[in-house]
Structure 1
Amino acid sequence: MTLYFAFLATLIISFVHCQNFNSNQVQRGSYGSIPSDNRMQTFPWVIAVLDQRDWIFRYIGAGSLIKTNVVLTAAHILNDTTEDDLLVRAGEWDTSTTKDRQHVDLEVLTIVSHEQFNRFNAENNVALLILKSEFELSTNIAIIPLYLVETEFKRGSCFFNGWGKVYLNSTDYPTILKTVHVDPLNTDVCSRRLRRKLSNQICAESLGEKDCSGDGGAPVVCRISQYPTKYAQVGIVNWLTQKRGDNTPTVYTKVRSMIPWINYHATRIRN
């Protein structure tokens, strides 16, 4: 089944597959929060990354808004796209309608993919999309901070959002932004279970019956223990296809390890 995004003013697109910045660097001690709209919770930092070639607006993955003109995502979802091929959307919730809330689309000025991205083991799977203009922040469009401290997270405190598939062997994609809960593992435990050392990566308990194809680039966000209503990004979704009964931990890009790279490129290029 193909999922369709409702484009602003009835144009349709088809579906395929902690850090607040100041002008120069990471701003410490600032965390994101979720609006208290339980009926239509937006997770306002989530960005839809769209391929707009041939006027067929295809969803290729997700990202996070880390600066008003910078989106953090995964390098692997971009493939051979150029800046002119891409569009990013903020404030989306229900892709089947334009009446739920106002979303905003912006064009991409520059793609910056990590120079050492490894397609075989997903190391350094990170990219920045520098936008031609800036999003105006609102209740459904907000910046997510990047988590700066090495710490353990409580079970059930971490999740990611996307419009990818929910269940294994499913042909359906959700039209409403879904939430997938994950439980990060200690690095040593993870390395033993994966039988390899992790480089710039974190991992979490398996997703069980989940598939989540199409969520590449989505922000893995955790609740901050000392601030129960605040959140920060700790990871970026890589590949999540999983065989039934497979208990292998799922690997994500470790945002904390990427902060120097993110800081440098996010402030080096100006529109």
Structure 2
Amino acid sequence: MTSTKFGSVLFTVSILIVFILESAQGDVNLKHKNEPCVCVPFYQCTDDIAGEVVTDGRFLLDQRMEHPTFCNGPFDVCCNIGKIKPKPKKTRDSSVGSTNPQKCGYQEEDVLSWAASMLFQRPDKIFPPTYKCGASIIHKDAVLTAAHCLEEEGYYFIKTGAATRRIYSVTIHPEFEMGSLRHDVAVLSMKKMEDTTDGPMIACIPPVPNVEHNAECIAATFNSEMNQLEKIYVPYVDPVICTERLSTTRLGKYFELHESFVCAGGSEKDTCIGDGGNPLICPIPGQSGRYNQIGIVSWGIGCGKKGIPGVYVNISHVRDWIDGVMKILGKDDQVYKD
């Protein structure tokens, strides 16, 4: 090939690259098969015939679900080192927190009073149940968790303190979508607990979130090293502001936060893998020591990225559905409303 021809080809290729780069960076009003279109990264466009822009983050979300192993190495597995004698746990003092312990939403100072752990055991029962996700107590015999935590077939258990109880009924929201994680909520029912004078503390579920932007809320996160739940403080983020911040990530500028979600966080403190199903609680104005459950840990974009909030199920948005499930199960739906 002569130098003249080579230079001509190089110039043509350069012009093509510049055109592609400019097209990918802006809203280019193009037409494909007589339909208007816009240039976006391939993962922000559906792969069906319509080829529509992804606005709900479908298949781009990081689920807050525990992986099968805690090991980082590609060839490592988590191997049992035997039973370790557990540390003595602090017993609950009925005088702490609530002046009326019969009401929902009262939170003890050092622990998450109505957070629970959900364990999973494979159908073959070769290995004992292990931590899967979190949950929140809304009735002495029922909990809420994230629906995406229930994708595996097997046996599920709820652990609260020293007690572990098997789940016998799972009801997933009928509009749950695994791709976009919309309506990422499930009600789990346990075998009826015998009547006791000191039942579990129960979350309050408000009809509307009613939380101000930047209000200090509390989320539960799983500490794998300590094998226990811990609480972190995260600011509540207004949905409009949350949409703006998430639109700066791989979700793209066309992302729209669905009404079944709320947001919190955006600092180094954040929920992450293994925290799915855990509660997000915010203080009830004018009632010291009392909280509403505003959300359930659902998904995020990475973990602890500055300025990027975590995303939670909007509990108030699905409260009517929760009420209906509780009535079908024959359980009192007033306990999380008082």
- Tell me the CA shift for residue 117 of structure 1: 1.1
- Tell me the CA shift for residue 148 of structure 1: 2.4
Structure 1 residue 204 and structure 2 residue 274: aligned? no
1:110 counterpart letter in structure 2: S
- Tell me the CA shift for residue 185 of structure 1: 1.4
Structure 1 residue 265 and structure 2 residue 265: aligned? no
1:50 counterpart letter in structure 2: L
**Residue of structure 1 aligned with 2:239, choices 162, 187, 208:** 187
Corresponding residue SS for 1:163: strand
Quick one: percent identity of the two aligned structures? 22
1:34 counterpart letter in structure 2: Q
Aligned to 2:279: 219
Question: Is 2:282–2:294's contact at 8 Å kept on the other side of the alignment?
Answer: yes
Structure 1 residue 87 and structure 2 residue 147: aligned? no
Question: Is 2:136–2:145's contact at 8 Å kept on the other side of the alignment?
Answer: yes
Cα distance in 1 for partners of 2:213, 2:200 equals 27
Aligned-CA RMSD value:
3.0
Give TM-score scaled by structure 1 length. Answer: 0.73
- Tell me the CA shift for residue 223 of structure 1: 1.0
Aligned to 2:46: none
Aligned to 2:116: 47
Q: Any idea what the Cα deviations from partners look like across 1:33-54, whole Å, max 9, x if unmatched?
A: 123xx5xx33221111011331
Structure 1 residue 34 and structure 2 residue 107: aligned? yes
Cα distance in 1 for partners of 2:244, 2:199 equals 40
Aligned to 2:203: 144
**Residue of structure 2 aligned with 1:73, choices 136, 140, 145:** 145
Between 183-192 and 105-114, the greater mean CA deviation after superposition: 183-192
Cα distance in 2 for partners of 1:3, 1:249 equals 34
2:262 counterpart letter in structure 1: I
1:59 counterpart letter in structure 2: Y
Corresponding residue SS for 1:264: helix
2:142 counterpart letter in structure 1: V
Aligned to 2:175: 116
Counterparts in 2 of 1:148 and 1:3: CA distance versus 1, 3 Å: farther
Counterparts in 2 of 1:153 and 1:64: CA distance versus 1, 3 Å: same
Going by fraction, where is strand more abundant, 1 or 2?
Answer: 1
1:87 counterpart letter in structure 2: F
Question: Is 2:266–2:304's contact at 8 Å kept on the other side of the alignment?
Answer: no
Question: Is 2:119–2:129's contact at 8 Å kept on the other side of the alignment?
Answer: yes
Question: Is 1:187–1:198's contact at 8 Å kept on the other side of the alignment?
Answer: no
Corresponding residue SS for 1:119: coil
Question: Is 2:270–2:310's contact at 8 Å kept on the other side of the alignment?
Answer: no
Identify unmatched segments of 5+ residues in structure 1. Answer: 12-29, 93-102, 165-171
Q: Any idea what the Cα deviations from partners look like across 1:13-66, whole Å, max 9, x if unmatched?
A: xxxxxxxxxxxxxxxxx542123xx5xx33221111011331421100110110
Corresponding residue SS for 1:183: strand
- Tell me the CA shift for residue 115 of structure 1: 1.6
**In the TM superposition, what are the counterparts of 1:240-255 in structure 2 within 5 Å?**
240=300, 242=302, 245=305, 247-255=307-315
Structure 1 residue 160 and structure 2 residue 219: aligned? yes
Cα distance in 1 for partners of 2:288, 2:79 equals 34
Structure 1 residue 56 and structure 2 residue 56: aligned? no
Structure 1 residue 238 and structure 2 residue 290: aligned? no
Cα distance in 2 for partners of 1:135, 1:180 equals 33
Counterparts in 2 of 1:138 and 1:207: CA distance versus 1, 3 Å: farther
Identify unmatched segments of 5+ residues in structure 2. Answer: 1-69, 71-77, 87-102, 247-254, 332-338
Q: Which runs of at least 4 in structure 1 moved beyond 6 Å after TM superposition?
A: 137-140
Aligned to 1:229: 289
Question: Is 2:104–2:204's contact at 8 Å kept on the other side of the alignment?
Answer: yes
Q: Any idea what the Cα deviations from partners look like across 1:79-100, whole Å, max 9, x if unmatched?
A: 1235xx011111x3xxxxxxxx
Corresponding residue SS for 2:321: helix
Counterparts in 2 of 1:245 and 1:80: CA distance versus 1, 3 Å: closer
2:128 counterpart letter in structure 1: I
Counterparts in 2 of 1:43 and 1:210: CA distance versus 1, 3 Å: closer
Counterparts in 2 of 1:174 and 1:104: CA distance versus 1, 3 Å: same
Counterparts in 2 of 1:162 and 1:248: CA distance versus 1, 3 Å: closer
Cα distance in 1 for partners of 2:276, 2:323 equals 22
